[in-house]
Structure 1
Amino acid sequence: MPTGLDQETQQESKAIDLALLDRWQHDFPLVPHPFQVIASELGLREREVLERFQTLLANNAISRIGAILAPNTVGASTLAAVSVEKVDLDEAVRLINMEHGVNHNYERDHAVNLWFVVTATDEAELDASLARISSRLGKDVFDLRLERPFHLDLGFSIAGRPEDSLVKRRLRPANASMIEPDDREVLAALQDGLPLVFRPFHEIGRHAGRSEADVLARLERLSQAGVIRRFGVVVKHRTLGFGANAMVVFDIADEDVDAVGERLSHVPGVTLCYRRRRASGWPFNLYCMVHARSRAQAEPVIERLKRLTGLTRRDMTVLFSTRCFRQRGPLLGAKQRDSGS
């Protein structure tokens, strides 16, 4: 049975982990020894910070430390969905995940039940990737391409209240003209996350054929340009207790959708908000994501969204995720491969 001292030590250790998770989702130090900077701020040793991040990664609390890119600035991507019979679900997931560029794949509690993100080097390769998936499944796939982001940050407090969880930051337009030809090699070396070593950017440079200083300069430039939306810890929200993941979709008249999207993006508890292309059989064009610890905690946020859309809303539906089959960063290597061939 743990003593009072043991419990106090455990609580202190948990507090340190929460600080690492909360504070460093944004503004991760782009310096040669980033873990030393973090250690100094928290009053820890550099090695302890590294070991804690290694443990968080091993325990599936984080997926990586790395760059979150503005959509469709480096390569192309889309949200896709398909309706699959329950008995065929596992096979459908296997066929979808064969595709090299699929980096997210979720089951949601709706007739359109498989939702996945497909990434590619360019629009032509993205079209080809979707065609391969559709052919394997023998089904039409909804291609719901992003038209305008209102909030795409997805950094939220693990320790705070769900309604205060979103880190609200002004969404600057990405300046894609700042992307240089060799940036892709650096970002590709980062796609699995920053190596958890004392000089991680040196290691990234070694893989990308660049100096440490060059890597840091490129990441700083892309961050300033808004191509990198944030650089930091990417948490696994389910592992950390955020088990209710709701995608709330609305059918809003085209002339009203941008004003409504701007309004909904500021609602506490909304972690993403964006306008997407409609599809035949899927009339929805405005999407909000709500992450909460339970459905009961998500419902007040959803009700507020419902009230705010008011008379502009022609239809809406709520899709809670039930299973996650894949969650990783986008693949930015050389030309996407047809993994199913």
Structure 2
Amino acid sequence: MAEDVAMNQLDELDKKVVRALQGDFPLVAEPYKVLAEQVGISEELFLERVKALSEEKKIRKMGAVLRHREVGFSSNVLVAWEVDPARLDEVAKKMAESPSVSHCYDRNTAPDWPYNLYTMVHGHSREECEAIVAGLAKETGVENRAMLYTKHEWKKVSMKYFQE
């Protein structure tokens, strides 16, 4: 039991690596080198620790937060799609490849909610979003959907771990 607890804990170096990863990602040719320098280790060791943390399931993902309004997108819509479960992977892959889709994920259905695939679509207007969604429907052959437009954005930050 004590061994399991020790295996699940992060040492101080790993906590520094996590802190570095959850900040702004450097927009330079060698971003991991910059992050490693912030931590005070080599880029090679930094990448080894990231890989180990991922393999040990201590970190699950790294991703960008799109502040869509800051980059010119004034409209966005969450689209819930009803996809044949046998085609879910195929359809999700096609939708995720669209440059207008920032998120694509599956969810469980409910008796009064048949939708099992969700995409977040960004555009410069509602009309553009409608056209993008119509194109996705035509490309995949999936028609049944619910479109939920953003009214107000409440939160656009990620969790921060191991902060002082």
Instruction: Pick the TM interval, shorter chain.
Output: 0.5 to 0.7
For residue 319 of structure 1, the aligned residue among 148, 151, 155 is: 148
For residue 78 of structure 2, the aligned residue among 241, 244, 247 is: 247
Flag structure 1 segments of 5+ consecutive residues without an equivalent: 1-178, 206-211, 335-341
The structure-2 alpha-carbon separation of the partners of 1:180 and 1:320, relative to structure 1 and needing over 3 Å to count, comes to: same
The structure-2 alpha-carbon separation of the partners of 1:192 and 1:309, relative to structure 1 and needing over 3 Å to count, comes to: same
1:249-287 deviation per Cα after TM superposition (whole angstroms, max 9, x unaligned)? 111122221222122222342222222223454321111
For 1:184 and 1:331, the matched residues in 2 are separated by 11
Give the C-alpha shift of residue 189 in structure 1. 5.1
Contact 2:36 2:46 in 1 (8 A): no
Structure 2 residue aligned with 1:102: none
State the SS of the aligned residue for 2:113: coil
1:281-310 deviation per Cα after TM superposition (whole angstroms, max 9, x unaligned)? 432111112111221222221111222342
For residue 47 of structure 2, the aligned residue among 197, 205, 220 is: 220
Give the C-alpha shift of residue 241 in structure 1. 1.8
Contact 1:270 1:301 in 2 (8 A): no
State the SS of the aligned residue for 1:307: helix
Structure 1 residue aligned with 2:68: 237
The structure-2 alpha-carbon separation of the partners of 1:326 and 1:202, relative to structure 1 and needing over 3 Å to count, comes to: same
Tell me the number of residue pairs that the alignment of Structure 1 and Structure 2 aligns: 142
In the alignment, does 2:161 pair up with 1:332?
yes
Structure 2 residue aligned with 1:256: 87
Flag structure 2 segments of 5+ consecutive residues without an equivalent: 1-7, 27-32
For 2:72 and 2:136, the matched residues in 1 are separated by 23
Taking every aligned residue pair, what percent have the same amino acid on both sides?
27
1:59-112 deviation per Cα after TM superposition (whole angstroms, max 9, x unaligned)? xxxxxxxxxxxxxxxxxxxxxxxxxxxxxxxxxxxxxxxxxxxxxxxxxxxxxx
For 1:280 and 1:185, the matched residues in 2 are separated by 45
Structure 2 residue aligned with 1:307: 138
The structure-2 alpha-carbon separation of the partners of 1:223 and 1:245, relative to structure 1 and needing over 3 Å to count, comes to: farther
Structure 2 residue aligned with 1:187: 18
For 2:100 and 2:80, the matched residues in 1 are separated by 15
Higher percent of residues as strand: 1
Normalization by structure 2: what TM-score? Answer: 0.65
Q: Which amino acid aligns with 2:68?
A: H
1:17-72 deviation per Cα after TM superposition (whole angstroms, max 9, x unaligned)? xxxxxxxxxxxxxxxxxxxxxxxxxxxxxxxxxxxxxxxxxxxxxxxxxxxxxxxx
For 1:201 and 1:266, the matched residues in 2 are separated by 29
For 2:151 and 2:46, the matched residues in 1 are separated by 35
For 2:113 and 2:18, the matched residues in 1 are separated by 34
